């Protein structure tokens, strides 16, 4: 069992350029097939392709730049581990994903004859999504000036999070007292 982190300093100070560079590197790493040659028992050379390198995003806290990076990662089908209890964006996204999963599970258990209850659940689900958007807008507006462009970015990113929620795993880092490896 190994955990690998790739850290680099490319002397960039512009947050947008840093984010773009990281996305480029993540995309390249996750799509690159490692190629090598080996000799088989008959001393014939053959090509071997190994699995692509897995990339996982870890969401701790975060603000607008984090939200944009998160959504770009999700669009590239990068899985995300969101740590509940680390505050800011991570807590908002974690709660939304947990709520959406609860709604989805409830909808599956309800029969077709419970249309009234399904409608109420859909209504509550939509309200929770709107509340989440408001929470993110408030969070962003604490650190930056509000603008319609930022609110549009938040809406678009939220749509991506909802659409790609299956790629988001919520880990309750505060509520856990045991080691994750103990369960494996």
DSSP state of 113: T
**Domain annotation covers residue 4:** no
Burial class (CB in 10 A: 0-12, 13-18, 19+), 99: middle
Strand 80-84 relative to strand 57-59, pairing: parallel
Q: Are residues 88 and 147 in the same domain?
A: yes
Tokens read off for 168: 């988001």
Q: Which residues of 128-146 are buried (b: 16+ CB within 10 A; e: fewer)?
A: bbeebbebbbebbeeeeee
Both 87 and 159 in a single domain?
A: yes
Average pLDDT along the chain: 79
**What is the domain range of residue 166?**
56-173
Query: Domain tally for the chain?
Result: 2
Same domain, 66 and 142: yes
* Block residue for tokens 């462009």: 149
For residue 38, the model assigns a pLDDT of 47
- Does residue 65 sit in the same domain as residue 51? no
pTM of the full predicted structure?
Answer: 0.73
**pLDDT (tens digit per residue) in 49-88:** 455 567 788 999 998 888 998 998 899 888 999 999 999 9
């Amino acid at each position: 069992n190994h955990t690998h982190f790739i850290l680099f300093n490319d002397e960039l100070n512009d947050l947008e350029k840093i984010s773009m560079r990281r996305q480029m590197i993540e995309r390249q790493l996750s799509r690159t097939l490692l190629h090598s040659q080996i000799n088989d028992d008959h001393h014939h050379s053959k090509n071997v392709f190994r699995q692509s390198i897995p990339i996982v995003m870890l969401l701790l806290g975060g603000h607008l730049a984090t939200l944009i990076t998160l959504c770009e990662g999700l669009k590239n089908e990068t899985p995300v581990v969101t740590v509940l209890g680390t505050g800011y964006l991570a807590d908002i996204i974690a709660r939304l994903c947990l709520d959406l999963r609860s709604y989805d599970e409830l909808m599956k258990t309800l029969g077709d004859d419970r249309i009234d209850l399904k409608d109420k659940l859909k209504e509550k689900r939509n309200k929770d999504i709107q509340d989440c958007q408001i929470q993110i807008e408030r969070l962003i507006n604490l650190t930056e000036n509000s603008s319609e462009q930022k609110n549009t970015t938040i809406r678009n990113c939220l749509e991506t999070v909802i659409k790609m929620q299956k790629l988001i795993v919520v880990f309750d880092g505060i509520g856990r007292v045991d080691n994750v490896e103990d369960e494996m």
